[in-house]
Amino acid sequence: MATETFFTQQAANRRLSWLLMLSVVALLAALGLAMGFGLTADPVASVAITGGAVALGTLLALGSYYRGDELVLAASRAREVTREEQPRLWNVVEELAIAAGIPVPRVHLIDDTAPNAFATGRDPEHASIAITTGLLEKLDRDGLAGVIGHELSHVRNFDIRFALLVGVLVGSIALLADMFLRYAFWFGGGRGGRRGGGGGLQALAGVLAILLALMAPIVARLVQLAVSRQREYLADATAVELTRNPAGLERALAIIAGDREVLEVANRATNHLYIVNPVKKVEERSRGLFSTHPPIVDRINRLRALRGASPLSSSESSALRALEPDGGRGGP
C-alpha cells in the first residue's frame, strides 16, 4: 500500500516536471513569435526571435533543474552546516535517511527565529533540507524527527523536483513577462511617433497583456498543484510511517503554526516549499491569497487519529485557525 502510493507519487512528479519544463519552452516560443511579428512584421526576424526565445526557455528550464536548488537556498539565506556544528540535527537527519532508504541530504540552517523548514533539490541524490534556527530551538528531538521525516518524504517522493521547478520557472517567467511588458509600454509610449512603429509596439503590448492574463490562472493552479493537500497529507503520513511517532510531528506542527513570528526570507516563489505556510502577516492573511497549504487543524487531527487521540477541542481549533492566512479554510 505505502510503496504503491510512494511510487505513484514519484511517477506523477516526474511527469509533471517534464510537462512544466516543456510548457515553459512552448510559452516562451509563443511569446517570441508574438514579439517577433509585433515588432518587426518580418518573417526572418520573427523566426530568429522565436529561436532565441526557445533557446532562452531551454536554458531557463535546464538551469532551474540543475541549479535551482542553489538559487532557492541562497534566496532563503540558508547556510550549509557541518556535523561538528550541529551534531544532534545531523544525527536526526541521518537516522531518518536510513529509515527512508535515501542518501543523506545536505543540511542547511536559516538564521531566523520563526520556526519553519523546507526541502529542495532535483532528486534524492541531489537534495537539501533547510530548517530555521528557531525550529531547532523550539523543538525537542521527537518534534525535530517528525519535521525531518516530513521533509525527507518530500525528497523521496520527488515532490522537491516539481516544487523547485514551479518556484524557479514560474517565478522567472513572471519576472520576464513583467520586464517585457514594461519595456513594451515604455517604448510604445515614448517613441510612438517614429515610423509608425508605435502601433506595432502597442499591438505587441496588447498581445503580451492577453498572454499574461491567460497565464495567471495557470500559474496559480500550478502552485496549488505543487502543494496540494494530497502532497502534504502524504508527507505527514510518511513521516509517521518512518518515525512511528505521530505525537512528535503533531507537536511540531502546532508549535510552527502557533508561532506568530514572520519568516523574513520567505517570498512568493518559495512559500509553497515550507512545511507550514510562512505567510503570517495580517494584511496578506486577510486577503487569503495563499491557500497553498492544507489547514493545520486538519493535519493535526489526522495525526491524532493515528495515535488514537480525540480531535482538537473547538477552542484549540479556533485558536490555531485564527493564525492561518485564510482562516484555516484551505485551498480549493
Partner 1 sequence: MGSTAVLVILIALVVLIALVVIAGIALYNSLIRLRLRVDEAWSQIDVQLKRRHDLIPNLVNAVRGYMEFEQETLTAVTNARANAVSAGAAGPAAAAAAENALTATLRSLFAVVENYPQLRANENVMSLQEELTTTENRIAFARQHYNATTRDYNTSVASFPNVILARQFGFTARDFFDAEPEAAAVPEVRLR
Q: Which is nearer to partner 1, 146 or 171 (CB)?
A: 146
Closer Cβ to partner 1, 68 or 146, answer by number:
146
The single residue among 15, 18, 51, 87 that binds partner 1, judged by CB under 8 A, is 87
Kindly determine how many residues on this chain lie close enough to bind partner 1 according to the rule CB under 8 A.
Answer: 16
> Minimum distance between the CB of residue 98 and partner 1, rounded to whole angstroms?
5
Cα atoms in the 13 Å half-sphere on the side-chain side of 322: 7
Torsion, CA 200, CA 202, CA 208, CA 213, rounded to 10:
-140
x/- map, 219-258, partner 1, by CB under 8 A: -----------------------x-xx-------------
Residues 6+ positions from 297 with CB-CB distance below 8 Å:
312, 317, 320, 321, 328
Q: Does 98 bind partner 1 (CB under 8 A)?
A: yes
Torsion over CA: 53, 58, 61, 63 (sign): negative
> Smaller CB distance to partner 1: residue 105 or 325?
105
Q: Which is nearer to partner 1, 103 or 199 (CB)?
A: 103
Contacts for 249 with CB less than 8 Å, ≥ 6 apart: 143, 146, 147, 149, 150, 236, 239, 240, 243, 303
* Residues labelled catalytic: 151
Question: Residue 233 and residue 148: Cα distance in Å, rounded?
Answer: 15
**Is 101 one of the binding residues for partner 1 (CB under 8 A)?**
yes
For the segment 124-143, give every residue that binds partner 1 (CB under 8 A): 141
Q: How far is the CB of 244 from partner 1 (least distance, A)?
A: 7
**31 close to 180: Cβ distance less than 8 angstroms:** yes
CB of 305 to partner 1, least distance (A): 20
State yes or no: residue 3 binds partner 1 (CB under 8 A).
yes
Binding status of residue 91 toward partner 1 by CB under 8 A: yes
What cell numbers appear for 116 in the block? 519553519
Part in contact with partner 1 (CB under 8 A); list of ranges 21-29, 99-107, 228-236, 285-293: 99-107
d(CA 244, CA 240): 5
Which of 10, 55, 94, 267 touches partner 1 (CB under 8 A)? 94
**Rounded Cα distance, 224 and 206, in Å:** 28
Contact criterion met (CB below 8 Å) for 226 and 170: no
In the complex with partner 1, which residue's Cβ is closer, 97 or 170?
97
Least distance between partner 1 and beta carbon 112 (Å): 25
What's the closest the beta carbon of residue 295 comes to partner 1, in angstroms? 29
Contact 50, 240 (CB under 8 A): no
CB nearer to partner 1: pick between 93 and 297: 93
Q: Which of 27, 35, 60, 92 binds partner 1 (CB under 8 A)?
A: 92
Question: Which cell is 74 given?
Answer: 541562497
Angstrom distance (rounded) from CA 328 to CA 33: 43
- Cα–Cα dist 209/38, whole Å: 13
Stretch that binds partner 1, among 47-55, 92-100, 178-186, 260-268 (CB under 8 A): 92-100
**Residue 1 CB, nearest approach to partner 1 (Å):** 11
42, 143, 258 from 261: Cα distances, Å = 55, 19, 9
Q: Which residues lie near partner 1 (CB under 8 A)?
A: 3, 87-88, 91-92, 94-96, 98-101, 141, 242, 244-245
